[in-house]
Structures are given as structure tokens and as C-alpha cells.
Amino acid sequence: MATKPEILISESVIHTRVRELAEQISKDYSGKDELVLLGVLKGSFIFLADLSRALTIPRTIEFIAVSSYEHGSVPSGAVRLVMDVRGSIEGRHVLIVEDIVDTGQTLHYLIDMLKSRNPASIRTCALLHKAHMTTAEVDIDYLGFSIGDEWVVGYGLDYMEQNRTLPYIGIVHPDDRN
């Protein structure tokens, strides 16, 4: 990718919003048992790390990996589990942490699968949401930003495994994807 992505959401705006989300989550889970932050790999890792550091409540971190993209950029519609949670979530409060929700199929799949494991509660947190693309019924309890139809990279998001570590959310234009 030769061209630097156009900044859509700056580093400072992201960090401010992550702190706001952490404040609300900390308030909502105050006095409850330890929260399990369940990061959906790979995209959520930076968001999850920053969110976790900003929380003021007891928490543990688990990871899960799913795939819904066949060739890097086209959602296939089918979701498959690539890596499962290592610990039990039975009787625990779980917060699924996603980088982006577009069709909602991945989040819907995860919620259904995790419910069968009898957690005390399941809620969701997403950095980005493309509401106009959502086809599955999913609630996002904690949302960073709503965005349009742009292909975005940075802050954990990638295009063909590139630009994941940018400190901002940037737009990749179709001509830049070659």
C-alpha cells in the first residue's frame, strides 16, 4: 500500500472516546464480580489493551478468534471459530470487545455461542460500527464511533494485514488497495 491512509479519526479523538467508554463500563460493572474482557482477534488487540488500562474495576482478559472473510476483504457470510476462549466463562460477566461491526454476523455468532456457556451476562463493546451494513440483529452496548462505508485501517484494523499499528483510524481508497 503505497499511499498513507487519510485520517478519519485521529489518535487523540480515539483515546478520549476509549477513556469515556472505560468510565461508563467501570460504572456499570462497579460492585460486580470481575469482568471478563473477551477480545476478538486480531483486530481488537490495540483497542482492548487501551480499554483495559483505562478501566477502574477488576478484570481479566481472554481472546477468541473467528473468521468471516474469505480473501481478506470480502465477508463470506459464514463465521467459523479459529481459536476458542481458554478459560470458563460460566457464571461470569463477559464483555465482547470488537474492532468493527459491519454485517453483525460475527457478533451474532459469538453471542449465541457464548450464551450456551452460561455466563452471568454478555454485553458488547465495539470501536466502530457500520450500521448501514448490519444485517444481523445485534445490540452494541458500548460504541466508540459510527462510520460510513469507508474501508478503514489502523488502531488494530487492517487491509491484507497492512496498517494495523497506525495510531489513528484511516481510510484506504480503492486505488490504494492494489
The residue assigned the cell 481478506 is: 72
- Annotated active-site residue 158? The verdict is no
Cell of 11: 489518535
Cell of 53: 488500562
Catalytic residue among 99, 102, 158, 176: 102
Amino acid at 108: H
CA-to-CA dists, residue 11 to 84, 133, 168, angstroms: 31, 25, 5
By C-alpha distance, which of 146, 170, 143 is closest to 156? Answer: 170
CA 88 to chain centre: 21
Instruction: Check if the beta carbon of residue 102 is closer than 8 Å to that of residue 119.
Output: no
Amino acid at 148: G
Q: Which residues are catalytic?
A: 102
